A and B are shown apart, each in its own frame.
Chain A
Amino acid sequence: MLKILHYINQFYGGIGGEEHAGHLPEMREGAVGPGTAFAAAFGADATITHTIICGDSYFGENLEEAKKTILEMVRGVKPDLFLAGPAFNAGRYGVACGTICDAVKEELGIPVLTGMYIENPGAEMFVDKMHIVSTKDSAVGMRDAVPKMAKLALKLARGENIGASIEEGYMPGYMRVNFFEEKRGSERAVDMLLAKMKKEPFTTEFPMPDFDRVEALPPVLDISKAKIALVTSGGIVPKGNPDRIEASSASKYGEYDIAGVDDLTEATYETAHGGYDPTYANVDSDRVLPVDVLREMENAGKIGSLHNKFYTTTGNGTAVKSSAAFAIEFAAKLKNDGVDAVILTST
């Protein structure tokens, strides 16, 4: 029977939510959380002998240490496959899954597999380094993800040939695999063209790569005369979250007036973000949105002025499309208001 080691975060490990995101890596025997679903899918072919649980923030903030500790654990177990996640659209979790899989594969030579949503930053970072099964954006997709991942995991653990991404359900971009299409190219191309003319959906066989990069702008010439605006994806809002910005998968951003505000206090501001432990931001929101420091710099003449409005949303699970749309809208307002530069903070 094949031995599988499973990596999950503190949430799926049943340790707790964001307040436990600093949880140090620990290893338990057997399957935990989503591992039980995988164990059922593996049946008699494989067993999850151990589960490593690690807090997402701990991993993100202590990359090298976390990697070292976890590699040591994996080395001791010597599994036939290292399985991580699935992380869906949880950014830190996805990056952790990709990072640790890459390390296990490169340093220990053990096959790895993870799964996440296509917009998870971990996907773009690691899609060319390993098999990543494409999942839905939230844990609702667990039922769909487990059989796909389990099937591919067994093949990888056995060292079998892996088919093309379209057949196996992993994200394209890792390995090129040849296979025979049933219809020849000319027929497929004409089918696509007909579908396009009828305005029916069709899938291209050669998607154009998305190189969306923006060139850096020239620097601000004189900071002491510049009007600086603050923007955050850390969800800082006036106490009570008046616009009810969602804790995750935000559908909107907030615009708030900070004219005359010298300091964000526990009584006046808080975070609406549901993707990190809110304790520290709720006590002092300047820890995320540094209004206090910028106000002092304004008074001392180190900057021209602090723009009287700030823009905010919650960055967790929020679709790239939504955040881009928010920013296009508020960037136009900032431009109109004569803002010279923006400080954008993320949690």
Chain B
Amino acid sequence: MVKEVERAGIPVVHICTVTPISMTVGANRIVPAIAIPHPLGNPKLSMAEEKEIRTKIVETSLQALATPVDGQTIFEVKY
């Protein structure tokens, strides 16, 4: 899906936990997530803390979309 969105001319960022799969699939902008069943959350934290990490992941993703890339690039989230 990532590839077809990009092929259609819309820049796309892939947020996922198992980044090697994303590399194999062919995403160009990749942001690592927290865990498979809750990529943008962490049930061990409070709802407010969870939202904070979710915001950081989304902010990193937006930065990734605004960054020129030369080939597949993983953008680490700074927590």
Residues of A within 8 A of B (CB): 18, 21, 57, 60-61, 91-92, 95, 121, 124-125, 212-221, 223, 226, 228-229, 231, 233-234, 276-281, 283-284, 286-288, 290, 292-294, 296-297, 302-303, 313, 323-324, 326-328, 331-332, 334-335, 339-347
B3 CB contacts on chain A under 8 angstroms: 212-214, 324, 327
Which size bracket describes the interface of B in this complex?
Answer: 35 or more
From the candidates A220, A221, A293, A344, name the one contacting B2 in the complex (CB within 8 A).
A344
Q: Are B14 and A346 in contact (CB under 8 A)?
A: yes
Q: Closest approach, in angstroms, between the C-beta of B53 and any C-beta of chain A? A: 10
Interface membership of B35, Cβ < 8 A: yes
Task: Give B26-47 as 1s and 0s: 1 = Cβ < 8 Å from A's Cβ atoms.
Answer: 1111000101111111010001
Q: Give bound CA distance, A340 to B10, whole Å.
A: 6
Q: Give bound CA distance, A92 to B4, whole Å.
A: 22
Q: Are A216 and B57 in contact (CB under 8 A)?
A: no
Q: Are A346 and B15 in contact (CB under 8 A)?
A: yes
A218 CB contacts on chain B under 8 angstroms: 11, 68
In the complex, the chain B residue whose C-beta lies closest to that of A98 is B20
- Contact flag A327-B1 (CB < 8 Å), given A286-B54, A293-B54: yes
Q: Are B20 and A125 in contact (CB under 8 A)?
A: yes
A328 CB contacts on chain B under 8 angstroms: 4, 8
Q: Are A286 and B37 in contact (CB under 8 A)?
A: no
In the complex, the chain B residue whose C-beta lies closest to that of A99 is B20
- Contact flag A343-B66 (CB < 8 Å), given A216-B28, A280-B41: no
A18 CB contacts on chain B under 8 angstroms: 37
In the complex, the chain A residue whose C-beta lies closest to that of B1 is A327
Q: Are B65 and A219 in contact (CB under 8 A)?
A: yes
Q: Are B10 and A341 in contact (CB under 8 A)?
A: yes
Q: Closest approach, in angstroms, between the C-beta of B27 and any C-beta of chain A? A: 8
From the candidates B8, B13, B17, B37, name the one contacting A280 in the complex (CB within 8 A).
B37
Q: Closest approach, in angstroms, between the C-beta of A347 and any C-beta of chain B? A: 5
Q: Closest approach, in angstroms, between the C-beta of A241 and any C-beta of chain B? A: 18
Q: Are B21 and A121 in contact (CB under 8 A)?
A: yes
Q: Are A287 and B36 in contact (CB under 8 A)?
A: no
- Contact flag A342-B5 (CB < 8 Å), given A288-B40, A331-B10: yes
What 15 new A-B contacts, CB under 8 Å, besides A60-B36, A324-B4? Answer: A18-B37, A60-B17, A216-B6, A216-B72, A219-B11, A223-B65, A228-B62, A231-B12, A276-B37, A303-B62, A327-B1, A327-B3, A342-B5, A346-B21, A346-B39
From the candidates B8, B33, B55, B65, name the one contacting A345 in the complex (CB within 8 A).
B33
- Contact flag A342-B16 (CB < 8 Å), given A216-B28, A280-B41: no
In the complex, the chain A residue whose C-beta lies closest to that of B3 is A214
